[in-house]
Amino acid sequence: MINIVLLEPEMPANTGNIGRTCCATGTRLHLIEPMGFKINDKMLKRAGLDYWDKLDVTVYDCLDDFFEKNPDAVGNMYMATTKAKHKYSDVSFSKDAYIMFGKESAGIPEEILVEYEHTAIRIPMNQDIRSLNLSNSVAIILYEALRQNDFFSMQTEGNLHRLHWNEE
């Protein structure tokens, strides 16, 4: 199962949207304090709609708490940042990869990024743009990781319901 890690998220709507994406994909969500909202924030619930109770989510007191409770993340962590040299599409995500995203206003602190420079990844974008929306960035990278793992057991085909019109 892929793991999405949000380091100090600030906007409840983004986190709610990411939670909904995690529900739709069977992905675990890890939230690292401090956050810019309370977990019961109505904006969080509105963005996550009625899926929040189905979400596999854990909240951690700090980054050290996260690593202490997830020792398998240490050698299996990708850092999504605009400061990376590698594109997200150039790496091979394992079935249990951890992908970390930083807070909306500042991203992942550089003192953390230097420890993960070899697994820091970026989404290509025009030079004049600072960054993409956090929930969009999560969706882009998460779906690439899922694609590489053949979407696990997700539904990959739909069915059209053909209408039969009466001819008169």
Are the C-beta atoms of 19 and 51 separated by less than 8 Å?
A: yes
Q: Specify if 162 maps to a domain.
A: no
> Which pLDDT value is given to residue 39?
78
Q: Which residues are annotated as a binding site?
A: 102, 123, 131
Q: Specify if 17 maps to a domain.
A: yes
**Looking at the 3D structure of the chain, how many domains does it have?**
1
What pTM, to 2 d.p., does this model score?
Answer: 0.89
Q: Specify if 153 maps to a domain.
A: no
Separation CA 36–CA 107 (nearest Å): 14
Q: Specify if 66 maps to a domain.
A: yes
Give the DSSP letter string of 6-49: EES---HHHHHHHHHHHHHHT-EEEEES--SS-TT-HHHHHHHG
More confident: 155 or 57: 57
Where in the chain does DSSP place strands (E)? Answer: 3-7, 28-32, 57-60, 77-80, 86-87, 98-101, 120-122
- Residues 115-153: tens digit of each pLDDT: 999 999 999 999 998 889 999 999 999 999 999 998 887
What CATH code is carried by the domain that includes residue 91? Answer: 3.40.1280.10
Range of the domain at 117: 3-148
Q: Which residues are annotated as a binding site for S-adenosyl-L-methionine?
A: 102, 123, 131
